[in-house]
Structure 1
Amino acid sequence: MGDPKKHRKKYTTPGHPWQRARIEEEKQLMQEYGFKNKTEIWKMVSFLRDATAQAKKLVTLSGPQADKEKELLLERMRRYGLLSPEAALDAILSISLRDVLERRLQTIVYKKNLANSMKQARQFITHAHICIGDKLVTSPSYLVPLKEEGQINFRARSRLSDPEHPERVASRAVKEKEVKEKIVKKEDKKEKKPEERPKERPKERPKAKKPAKKAAEAKAKKEE
């Protein structure tokens, strides 16, 4: 039978535990993308770091094996929709962490209006309500290839597959309300035009009054 395979960590922790900028960024990402813990962020960071490190290494190499590895890396990034078909190897260096987070199953379920929020999208996935084609996926951090994106839907055996399910009806109502609010805001902006204020005339400066003593002396001279 052999020895059981040892599972290795799929991420590396930050080198310094107290970096204010990184902590603030992670806090914002957790709120925006509905992460359960920071380990999920570090997994995505490690995925991107490994890809950029491999790209930097391969840029300086040449030969049949290097060309093969370059093509495999480019194909991998294209498969996830992180690069365009015409992109070169150095384009991998411009991929941001948010680009990777947009390819997570949790994010796409929310963007496809299958859930009201990121947290609800996570709940649907972990409770086995979401499938990709005939494949059941229960990992919110699953990176979705482009060819599988159109196959994401509710599982046939799930109660949420019914369009009239209370959660789905509520989801449609929320989305419709958001669309209406956006339309109303746009119309209000068009109607409200800045009012032209009448130009104010420059104020005339009052003439300086002569001191009383000088005025009396001037009057006395005139009388003489």
Structure 2
Amino acid sequence: MGDPKRQRKRYETPSHPWIKERLDRERVLMKKYALKNKKELWRHETQLKEFRRRARRLLAARGRQAEVERAQLLQRLNRLGLLPADAALDDVLSLTVEDVLDRRLQTLVYKKGLARTIGQARQLIVHGHIEINGQIIRSPGYLVLREEEDTITYSKTSPFAKESHPERMVIEQAKQGEAS
């Protein structure tokens, strides 16, 4: 049967725990994106650091393998919706953690108007009311691919799928109120 794969931390904690500027910045992001805890924020910051580290290494590298890796990195970031198709490697260095947080399923559900608040978007996802390509996703931190973005809907088995659901009516009225 073999040994199970070792679970590793997917985030790096800050080097110093009490830097006021960082704490203030994190507090604003936690509230804006309705994150459960700092670990979620640190995970996306670490992901961004890894993209930027690879880009810096590839900017300095020469050769055919470096070209292949450059194309793969840019293609990956394009698929995630973080960069446009015609982006250069320098554009990777200008990405911010907010760019990554904007690609979370939780944020996109809110921006598409499927939820009144970003907190409600998180609840709908965790409770299994949201699907992508017919597949229920229960992770609010799921990074949505560019081609999946248009397929975010209410789950077919969810009560929210009915147009007559009371909460759907409230959400629709809120949308119309914002439009006028």
Aligned-partner Cα distance in 2 for 1:135–1:177: 31
> Which residue of the partner structure matches residue 165 of structure 1?
165
> Which residue of the partner structure matches residue 146 of structure 1?
146
SS of 1:150's equivalent in the other structure is helix
CA deviation after TM superposition for structure 1 residue 70, in Å: 1.0
CA deviation after TM superposition for structure 1 residue 2, in Å: 1.0
Q: Which amino acid aligns with 2:12?
A: T
Greater RCO (CA < 8 Å, at least 6 residues apart): 2
Q: TM-score by structure 1 length?
A: 0.78
SS of 1:57's equivalent in the other structure is helix
Q: Which amino acid aligns with 1:150?
A: D
CA deviation after TM superposition for structure 1 residue 129, in Å: 0.6
> Which residue of the partner structure matches residue 155 of structure 1?
155
Q: How does 1:199-214 map to 2 (within 5 A)?
A: none
Bigger Cα displacement from structure 2, 120-129 vs 131-140:
131-140
SS of 2:52's equivalent in the other structure is helix
Q: Which runs of 4+ in 1 moved over 3 A?
A: none
> Which residue of the partner structure matches residue 20 of structure 1?
20
CA deviation after TM superposition for structure 1 residue 177, in Å: 2.1
Bigger Cα displacement from structure 2, 110-119 vs 93-102:
93-102
Structure 1 unpaired stretches of 5+? 181-224
Aligned-partner Cα distance in 1 for 2:178–2:67: 49
How many residues are aligned here? 180
Q: Which amino acid aligns with 1:163?
A: E
Structure 2 unpaired stretches of 5+? none
Is 1:82 aligned to residue 79 of structure 2? no
| C-alpha RMSD over aligned residues | 0.9
Cα deviation, 1:45-78, whole Å, max 9, x if unaligned, reads: 0110000001001111111211111111111100
Is 1:114 aligned to residue 114 of structure 2? yes
Q: Which amino acid aligns with 1:146?
A: R
SS of 2:164's equivalent in the other structure is coil
Aligned-partner Cα distance in 1 for 2:174–2:35: 22
Q: Which has the larger radius of gyration?
A: 1
Aligned-partner Cα distance in 2 for 1:99–1:114: 21
Aligned-partner Cα distance in 2 for 1:174–1:134: 26
Q: How does 1:35-50 map to 2 (within 5 A)?
A: 35-50=35-50
